Amino acid sequence: MARARLSMRKVREVLRLKWEMRLSHRDVARSLGISHSTVIEYLRRARQAGLSWPLPEELDDARLEALLFPPSPPANVPRALPDWSHVHQELRRKGVTLQLLWLEYKARHPEGYQYSQFCELYRRWEKKLDVVLRQSYRAGEKAFIDYAGPTIPVVDAKTGEIREAQVFVGVLAASNYTYVEATWTQTLPDWTASHVRMFASWDGAPELLVPDNTKSGVKKACYYEPDLNRTYQELAAHYGTAVLPARPYHPRDRAKAETGVQIVERWILAPLRHHTFFSLAELNREITSRREALNDRPFQKLEGSRRSLFETLERPALRPLPSVPYEYGQWRRARVNIDYHIQVEKHFYSVPHRLAREEVEVRLTATTVETLHQGRRVAAHRRSHKKGGYTTDPAHMPSAHRQHLEWSPSRLVRWAEKVGPATADLVRRILESRPHPEHGYRSCLGLMRLAKSHSRERLEAASRRALQIGGLSYRSVKSILQSGLDRWPLEEQTTLALPREHANLRGPEYYRHNGKGD
């Protein structure tokens, strides 16, 4: 008791010298012959007890000691144990840390475990979980993509032919929510289509896609810089996500996908081994039913299920889907011909004429053909399967070519009739003298240009002289006008006539009735 009273006297003196005399910690310690750390500890306990100077008169040494040095709780009193399943789940939320969860725990249980003990107990509990459950991922962060090893036979009801269906598997990392479907192949069209349907099923997309280096998504596996398929990159960009292929020879990168595939094989594929399916649609209906049951199955070592974690944790963190689903497209390279067309599957599509002889990129979808030059789209056409056909945008043509398409034989003759009968006859004869009328368009359009710089009377006179000498061309008429021969009287001579009957010539009736392109 004397030692206790002596100790309390020193405590009172520490408080007096510090709070009343304003001495430093070291001066107080030197004055009382105690250590510097003891002074700091006494002052800390006094502040925690809410004391100030002067001390209350009724506060005797016994009460002061009880305030500053309360007895430790009995060792056998159990402390409140955190809900480790809840802690594990909360850690998957963005920005949540063990320290934050410990502070929340201590707010509810002040007598609970300190931070170091809290962390150690959590790690012990976590080691009891399966490997796939122990891995911590943020909600909405990653989805692991792979194909199952086993295939499922589908029988053609008409021929009896058996075809093996492939099984696509996608697993969201934080919730283990699983997507499964069957496709005919693992090729790029089926690979991308499965992603589109998976995102639609999830009503969102994760930040990262982690494929298991399948050839459909990764052209060349590499530790540092895997070469992604162009179409797969485009799909990822469309959904605002990114592709991070699993590294070769790093099984931990693929643990989630491989475990997801194993679960699918165990709970979906194995039970279907005795079933016979006669269509891919029938198979996918059964897979969908069993997939939903798998996602509803309660966890064995955690509370809830894949679906409950997905709905409460994962779905809110997924990226929203774009307004239009991704449309599969193939990428190719092509060289623009001198006629400013590219050939795609034996059909010809136009591009701007300035790109003649340039190399371009071509993106093919089920409905469109897009052409890109240096990353910029320069042309888009509706896809055609007519072999040998042409799809031409008039805006891609040089101005002279556009003018040709705007005219037809009958329209050219009607224009010439406004100038005069000789000009109209000359136009007819020019068109008749070519194997195809289009071959005479350039000469006729040249006559129209001459009409802009010469009067109708002079052009009519020049046309009359050209007919007389058999000069059925633009050059002949232009030469007559330049030399002024149109002003000279016509000599009495027989007009050089062309044969009216020939297999490659058309008569006047063709131009009266054929209004093609008019």
What whole-number distance in Å separates Cα of residue 295 and Cα of residue 169?
13
pTM (whole model) above 0.75? no
Q: Among 397, 415, 437, which residue terminates a domain?
A: 397
What is the extent of the structural domain holding 111? 84-128
Whether residue 75 lies inside any domain: the answer is no
Alpha carbon of residue 43 to chain centroid: 62
**Confidence (pLDDT) at 2:** 38
Q: Among 361, 382, 397, which residue terminates a domain?
A: 397
| 147 & 255 share domain | yes
Cβ pair 211, 179 in contact under 8 A: no
Q: Among 267, 291, 317, which residue terminates a domain?
A: 317
| 253 & 371 share domain | no
| 226 & 289 share domain | yes
Alpha carbon of residue 302 to chain centroid: 34
Name the helix (H) or strand (E) containing 62: helix 61-68
**Confidence (pLDDT) at 504:** 46
**Confidence (pLDDT) at 130:** 56
| 48 & 186 share domain | no
| 392 & 406 share domain | no
Cis peptide before 54, with omega less than 30 degrees from 0? yes
Whether residue 257 lies inside any domain: the answer is yes
**Confidence (pLDDT) at 75:** 57
| 438 & 388 share domain | no
Whether residue 324 lies inside any domain: the answer is no
Give the pair of three-digit tokens for residue 440.
Answer: 């005479």
DSSP string covering 313-375:
IIGGGSBPPPSS-----EEEEEE--TTSEEEETTEEEE--GGGTT-EEEEEE-SSEEEEEETT
| 498 & 379 share domain | no
| 105 & 181 share domain | no
| 429 & 461 share domain | yes
| 271 & 380 share domain | no
Would you write out the chain's pLDDT as a tens digit for each of its 518 residues?
Answer: 334 445 788 888 888 888 888 888 888 888 888 888 888 988 988 888 888 888 888 888 888 888 888 776 565 557 788 887 778 777 777 667 888 788 888 888 888 888 888 888 888 877 776 544 445 678 888 899 999 888 999 999 888 899 999 999 999 988 889 999 999 999 888 999 999 999 999 999 999 998 875 655 555 444 333 446 788 888 999 999 988 886 654 555 556 667 788 889 888 888 888 899 999 999 999 999 999 999 999 887 677 889 998 998 899 999 999 999 998 888 889 999 877 889 998 898 999 988 988 999 999 888 899 999 988 899 999 999 888 888 888 888 877 666 656 667 788 888 889 999 999 999 888 888 865 555 567 678 788 889 889 998 999 999 999 998 888 888 899 999 999 888 888 765 444 444 444 444 445 554 444 444 43
Whether residue 322 lies inside any domain: the answer is no
- Report the CATH number at residue 202: 3.30.420.10
Whether residue 34 lies inside any domain: the answer is yes
Whether residue 282 lies inside any domain: the answer is yes
Q: How many domains does the chain have?
A: 5
**Confidence (pLDDT) at 250:** 53
Alpha carbon of residue 452 to chain centroid: 56
| 361 & 509 share domain | no
| 299 & 178 share domain | yes
Whether residue 78 lies inside any domain: the answer is no
Of the candidates 270, 294, 258, 267, the one whose C-alpha atom is nearest the C-alpha of residue 179 is 294
Whether residue 137 lies inside any domain: the answer is no
**Confidence (pLDDT) at 438:** 52
